[in-house]
Structure 1
Amino acid sequence: MKKVIKKSYKFAIKTAFYITLVISVLIAAVLLVSNVFHVGIVLGFSAFCYITSFLIIQYRVERFIYRRVKKIYDDLTLLESASLRRQPITTDMATLTQEIDKFAKDKKLEIETLKVREEYRKEFIGNVSHELKTPLFTVQGYVLTLLDGAMNNEKLREQYLERANKGVERLIYIVQDLDMITKLEVGDLSLNIETFDIVELVASVFDLLEMKSAKKKITLTFDMFYADPIMVKADKERIRQVLTNLVVNSIKYGRIKGTTEISIENLIKNKVIVRVTDNGEGIAKANIPRLFERFYRIDKSGSRKEGGSGLGLAIVKHIIEAHDEKIYIESELSVGSEFSFTLEKAK
């Protein structure tokens, strides 16, 4: 392999050569004029001059570059100055260039990440404000109406109190979901891992949501008859919440007389995959990457006709990830959606 000469050495070699050449020519000229010219003297002086010039120039260049490179490193806080003293600093700037490029790329990525987070923060605060504001104003409106004299009307008083209570219940629901997702994110919510039959759990979720699905004439069904139990290891109540949230979502955005189907399949030796499939509205590809964000809604009109806290899918994602499992989504507009997640099989 061809040996690469450091650029500072090249500079010192060339500069020393030019200085030696000039001085040697001058010395030779002086000796010629003085009639004492001798080739050995000129060559000896040239060699001495060249070596001396090379050493001085190399030393000065390294010191000159060291001071400036060290200042750059100190300013950028890329490396400790001690690491520079362990090796000579030369005009070969490859290492410094790489460090500065890396620093610049990291800072650019950091700035872009901060911009994304800032945008997300603004959107999140706006969504939280909207979600809380609606039931708060509803409750306040009914209370103020009662205080203004409506409480004297017994029928109206009961009706308004019931509506105000629904607003309070919605507030409690949102706060509870926020509390849960916060605990999931910081790891404060411990999982109670147990062995249970996932088929039986799905059936119980179907029973729980039977009336809700009946309002839209949506059929809740398995993809096949499961004669034998399928035992898995997970937090049963958290997985119940995952299934409930996914099925409720499929009912909300499902078509009238539609179907929500759940299948349980062997994925690998120790894993099963649970699929929740519907033939509802479907989701545009542009919306899928943000679907699990808190309060993210596909409907940008601000309508809350379908209710909910807007945290359901975010909670689903965090619960599945807390189990060290994966969740997937496939969807097509006007065709339907499929949410699937993995679980560990019990031995």
Structure 2
Amino acid sequence: MQGKFKKSYRFAMNTSLYITTYITLLMSVFLYYFYEFKWFYIIVFLVSIYLFTFFIIQFRVERFIYKRVKKIYDDLTLLESASLTKGPITTDMRTLTQEIDKFARHKKIEIETLKVREEYRKEFLGNVSHELKTPLFTVQGYILTLLDGAMNDKSIREKYLERASKGIERLGYIIKDLDMITKLEVGDLCLNLEVFDIIELIENIFDMFEMKAAKKSITLVFDTNYPKPIMIRADKERIQQVLANLIVNSIKYGREKGTTEISIENLIKNKVIVRVTDNGEGIEEVYLPRLFERFFRVDKSGSRREGGSGLGLSIVKHIIEAHDEKIYVESEYNVGSEFSFTLEKAE
């Protein structure tokens, strides 16, 4: 690694001056007492000593510093410090200190980011393991019980087979959702953009979950009457998945005899915002930043009783972001929640 390095002659000049002054004084005293004292010889001696010491100190000391600074650059190059390898080697301590400080800050940020990712990876793997293990062990338990003799009882056989079927169904949901969210994250899932009426789509979803909502006496309604279609340009199937997921969540965590309300508002000239509002149990503010993480659950026991893969909201977020749109959440504990997302209006 070569390059022009910035030279500072102050140190060499001052040091040479000290050495020359000392030696010249010593030599003057010696000549005064033992030989004939002449200023010409003193001046020549002074200049010679000064130049000699200056060049020796300047180049030898700087070479000494350069070798050690180069070793620092080489060590940092092994750590892939792009900011240091781009420029020439410098022996200027102020510049070097600034570069090292910059490098240290960059590496500190990298280390902290890696720690966060590692913690997230451990949590994610633990959640995947737990989510797959629960239905798998349930299915295994029912099958082993049947093989141990319970299959001879017709009523028990049918009941256990139905429960095992539900466990397998849940495993299928988890694997399907994991596959989808992986494709969404790496960008392999292509969107089929089309123009459709969002009002009609929501009405179809209401019909789909009417019986599920009726079990908790929850009413699925629009905030107002929409006499005209609202045409949207998006992937109809994916937006249906988003709305279905949000409405199902509002039913799961909604109050008995509660309400799930849908509203569509004009945001700007070519955008609308769709709001899904309920008066359910709500979410504490501390959990909101992590709400769209994979497998994150506010109430782990309650959400597992309700079923699902634990990936729904994460998929919702990725689908909306795949459309280059935004999703928002507002919630107040024991009051209710509102999920909203933007969509592009068709011309």
SS in structure 1 of the partner of residue 136 of structure 2: helix
Query: Could you tell me whether the CA contact under 8 Å between 1:234 and 1:323 is conserved in 2?
Result: yes
Per-residue deviation, 1:217: 1.3
**Paired letter, 1:242:** V
1:141 & 1:103 partners in 2: Cα distance?
A: 56
**Paired letter, 2:192:** N
**Paired letter, 1:37:** K
Match of 1:175 in 2: 175
Query: Could you tell me whether the CA contact under 8 Å between 2:138 and 2:167 is conserved in 1?
Result: yes
- Whether 1:130 aligns to 2:130 is yes
Match of 2:319 in 1: 319
Query: Could you tell me whether the CA contact under 8 Å between 2:294 and 2:314 is conserved in 1?
Result: yes
1:229-308 alignment, distance < 5 Å: 229-301=229-301, 304-308=304-308
2:84 & 2:128 partners in 1: Cα distance?
A: 48
Match of 2:3 in 1: none
**Paired letter, 1:136:** L
- Whether 1:18 aligns to 2:12 is no
- Whether 1:105 aligns to 2:105 is yes
1:168 & 1:243 partners in 2: Cα distance?
A: 25
1:174 & 1:306 partners in 2: Cα distance?
A: 14
Match of 1:208 in 2: 208
Deviations along 1:106-126, whole A, 9 cap, x unmatched?
Answer: 332233223222322222222
TM-score of the pair, normalised by structure 1: 0.89
Deviations along 1:76-126, whole A, 9 cap, x unmatched?
Answer: 213699866x46x33x32332233223322332233223222322222222
Per-residue deviation, 1:341: 1.2
Match of 1:159 in 2: 159
Per-residue deviation, 1:7: 8.6
Moved more, 64-73 or 141-150: 141-150
Change in 2 beyond 3 A, CA 1:99/1:81: closer
Query: Could you tell me whether the CA contact under 8 Å between 1:218 and 1:259 is conserved in 2?
Result: yes
Change in 2 beyond 3 A, CA 1:115/1:182: same
Per-residue deviation, 1:175: 1.1
**Paired letter, 2:291:** L
Deviations along 1:162-184, whole A, 9 cap, x unmatched?
Answer: 22212211111111111111111
**Paired letter, 1:115:** K
- Whether 1:35 aligns to 2:42 is no
Match of 1:226 in 2: 226
CA RMSD in angstroms comes to: 2.3
**Paired letter, 2:274:** V
Match of 1:3 in 2: none
2:95 & 2:209 partners in 1: Cα distance?
A: 64
2:26 & 2:293 partners in 1: Cα distance?
A: 80
Identity of aligned residues (%): 71
2:61 & 2:200 partners in 1: Cα distance?
A: 79
1:264 & 1:303 partners in 2: Cα distance?
A: 28
SS in structure 2 of the partner of residue 281 of structure 1: coil
SS in structure 2 of the partner of residue 305 of structure 1: helix
2:126 & 2:239 partners in 1: Cα distance?
A: 30
- Whether 1:9 aligns to 2:9 is yes
Per-residue deviation, 1:302: 7.4
SS in structure 2 of the partner of residue 296 of structure 1: coil
1:31 & 1:326 partners in 2: Cα distance?
A: 91
Aligned residues: 338
In structure 2, runs of 5+ residues without a counterpart are: 1-5
Moved more, 257-266 or 73-82: 73-82
Match of 2:120 in 1: 120
Per-residue deviation, 1:300: 4.4
SS in structure 2 of the partner of residue 287 of structure 1: helix
TM-score of the pair, normalised by structure 2: 0.89
Query: Could you tell me whether the CA contact under 8 Å between 1:8 and 1:61 is conserved in 2?
Result: no
1:303 & 1:318 partners in 2: Cα distance?
A: 21
**Paired letter, 2:131:** E
1:346 & 1:31 partners in 2: Cα distance?
A: 103
1:137-152 alignment, distance < 5 Å: 137-152=137-152
Deviations along 1:62-85, whole A, 9 cap, x unmatched?
Answer: 21111001101111213699866x
Moved more, 132-141 or 277-286: 132-141
1:188 & 1:253 partners in 2: Cα distance?
A: 32
2:253 & 2:85 partners in 1: Cα distance?
A: 63
SS in structure 1 of the partner of residue 325 of structure 2: coil
Per-residue deviation, 1:160: 2.2
Query: Could you tell me whether the CA contact under 8 Å between 2:295 and 2:311 is conserved in 1?
Result: yes
Match of 2:343 in 1: 343
In structure 1, runs of 5+ residues without a counterpart are: 1-5
2:82 & 2:133 partners in 1: Cα distance?
A: 50
Query: Could you tell me whether the CA contact under 8 Å between 1:217 and 1:257 is conserved in 2?
Result: yes
SS in structure 2 of the partner of residue 344 of structure 1: strand
Per-residue deviation, 1:275: 1.3
Change in 2 beyond 3 A, CA 1:80/1:66: farther
Deviations along 1:263-305, whole A, 9 cap, x unmatched?
Answer: 2122222222111111111111111111111111111457611
